[in-house]
Amino acid sequence: MPVKHPLFCIVTCLLLLHALQGAVAAMPIPAPPTVAASGHLLMDFDSGQILAESNADQRLEPASLTKIMTAYAAMRELKAGNIRLDDKVLVSKKAWRTPGSRMFIEVDKQVTVEQLLKGMIVQSGNDASVALAEHIAGSEETFANLMNNHAKRLGMSNSHFVNSTGLPDENHYTTAKDIAKVSAATIHEFPEYYAWYAEKEFTFNNIKQPNRNRLLWRDTSVDGIKTGHTESAGYCLVASAKRDSMRLISVVMGTSGEDARAEESKSLLNYGFRFFETHRLYDAETALTRTRVWKGAAETLAVGLEQALYITVPRNQYDNLQATLNVDPKLFAPINKGQKVGSIEVMLAGERITSQPLIALEQVDEGGLLTTLKDSVLLWFD
C-alpha cells in the first residue's frame, strides 16, 4: 500500500476541519424546548429580540409578578426624589391585614422604604407592597393608577393593575411579553436597586425568610427576578441571567409547581445561551456616515443612532450579517438634532433582522442667500 506524503495528510485534515466547521455553522437552530406553562417567553435583554414564546400576548393572572411593577414604580419615585430610602412609613391596618405572603410588619409601627422594598422583593411581602403603595400615593387604588401609567409608557398594552400585590381580581392581568418589558426596564434604569433581586434571604422583625426564586441557588448566572403564585394563577417566575456579556430574561406563567417553574425557566435560559449570541453593532450617537445637506450653513451632516444597536443571531452567524444605511436622498436645511433622516437595515441570509431609524447627530441651520442660490443651481442641473 503506497504511503501518502505528510503534507497531503495535513492539507486533507485542514480541508476536512474547514468542511466540518462550515457544517456546524450552517446547522439550523433547533426548536425551543416545550414549556408546560400557560404562557412563556425568552427575550434577549440588550436587543429585545424574542428567542422563544408561546401565548406571550395572552392576558394572564400575574400573582406576585405584579410586584415587579410595584417595585419599578417605587424606584421611579426614588429617582425623582419624591421619596427616600430612609423615609419612615407608618404601617396601616390595611397593610398589616393584607392576606398572603408577608414580611410581618406591625400596625402603627414605622418601617423604612428600603426595608419595605427588600421585604417585597426578597420575601414577596403583600403587607410591604400595600404599605409602600399607601406611602407613595396615599391609597393602593391611586397607586394602581400610577402603575397603569407606567405600563402605558413602557408599551405594556395588554396589562391592567388594580392592586400592588397581585391578589386575584378579574381586572388585574398582564402578559408574559408585558412583564418582560417592565423587568428589562428595571434592570436598565435601576441597576443599583436591581441587585436586591439576587439576595437569597432577608430578615425583618427577627424573622428570616428565603427568596422563593430557587434558581438563585441552582445557577450562579441567575440574579433575579421574581416568583408568583396563587391557586388561580399557578406558579410563575420571571428569571434573568447573565453569562459573559449576554443577558436573557425568561418568563413562565401558570406552571404546576415550584420545581416546575424553576426547571422550565432554566430550560429556556440554557436554550438561549447555547444557541444564540448577542453583539453590539453600533454605539449610540456615533457617526456612521456623513451625508450631503442642501441649502444649509454646513454642507454635510453626521448621521447615527439614538441608542446603541444590539443584535441577537444564531451562533456562528455574526460574520454573515449585512448592514445597509438608507439615508434620505435629499436633505434640506434646517435640520434639527435628533431628526429622523433615514434608517439602517440589518439582514441575515436574506431576512431582515431589524430596522432602526437614523437620526441627525447635529443641527444644521439654513444657509445664507449665496449658499441657497448656489445649491438651487446645482439641484437644477442634478
Q: Which residues are catalytic?
A: 64, 67, 124
Count Cβ neighbours within 10 Å for each residue of 274-293 and write b for 16 or more, e otherwise.
eebbbeebbeeeeebeebeb
- Whether 207 and 105 have beta carbons less than 8 Å apart is answered as no
Neighbours of 70 (CB within 10 A): 29
Lookup: cell for 259: 420545581
Output the CA–CA distances (angstroms, integers) from residue 41 to 37, 50, 151, 223, in the order listed.
10, 7, 18, 18
Beta-strand runs (E) in 175-308: 201-204, 207-210, 222-230, 234-243, 246-255, 276-282, 289-292, 300-304
The strand pair at 289-292 and 39-44 is best described as unpaired
Residue located via cell numbers 400575574: 62
